[in-house]
Amino acid sequence: MVLEAAVAGHCTHIVTFNRKDFEGVDEFGITEVTPQQFLDIIGGKE
**pLDDT tens profile 27-42:** 999 999 999 999 999 9
pLDDT for 44 beyond 80: no
pTM: 0.78
The pLDDT assigned to 18 comes to 92
The pLDDT assigned to 45 comes to 61
**pLDDT tens profile 5-35:** 999 999 999 999 998 999 899 999 999 999 9
The pLDDT assigned to 1 comes to 87
DSSP assignment of the chain: -HHHHHHHTT-SEEE-S-GGGGTTGGGGT-EEE-HHHHHHHHTT--
